[in-house]
Amino acid sequence: MSAVMETSAGVGEAKPGARPAADATAAGRTTGGAGLQIDRVSKRYGNVHALRETTIDIPRGEFLTILGPSGSGKTTLLTIVAGFEQPTTGDLRVGGRSIVALPPEKRNFGMVFQGYALFPHMT
C-alpha cells in the first residue's frame, strides 16, 4: 500500500495535521512501533523560504511519495528528516520523542539519492 500527498504549490502547503489517504491501520496491517511526525517544520535561508511550514504524520511502515514542482521544498524536507539540515522552526518526532537534535547516524533513517534510486539507467 502506498500513499501520495501532492500539493500544487509544493510541500510547504500541506494542511496542518494532514495524513496520507491510506495508512497501515486502514489497510488492516499491524505495523507496531512509531512512525514519523513532522510538526510545523520550516526552513529559511535568510529571506528565502526553502520549506514553508509543513505537518505530516507518517505511520510506521508506510510508503509516502512527495510530489511537487521544482523549488517546492521536497529535497529540503528530506534532508531535514535525514538530519543533514536543521529546521528553522518545528519538530520531528518518532514515538513522541524529538529527533531534531540527533545526528544523522543516530536517526535510523536511510537516504538514497533520487538519480540512482529512480533512474539507474541514467548512471
Q: Where do the domains of the chain lie, and which CATH numbers do they carry?
A: 2-122 (3.40.50.300)
pLDDT digits (tens, 9 = 90+) for 86-123: 999 999 999 899 999 999 999 887 666 666 656 666 66
Task: Report d(CA 82, CA 67) in Å as an integer.
Answer: 18
Torsion angles phi and psi, residue 58, rounded to 5: -115, 110
User: Which residues are CB-contacts of 121 (< 8 A; sequence separation ≥ 6)?
Assistant: none
* For range 3-19, the mean pLDDT: 43
Tell me: the pLDDT tens digits for 19-58?
444 444 444 444 455 799 999 999 999 999 999 999 999 9
Amino acid (one-letter) located at 76: T
- Residue 85, classified by CB atoms within 10 Å of its CB into exposed (0-12), middle (13-18) or buried (19+), is middle
E strands, 1-123, are 2-6, 36-45, 48-58, 63-67, 89-94, 97-98
Who has greater pLDDT, 66 or 25?
Answer: 66
Start-end of H helices in 14-73 = none
Reported confidence tier of residue 61, pLDDT bands at 50, 70, 90 = confident
DSSP 8-state symbol, 50: E
Distance CA 57, CA 79 (A): 17
Select the more confidently predicted residue: 3 or 67: 67
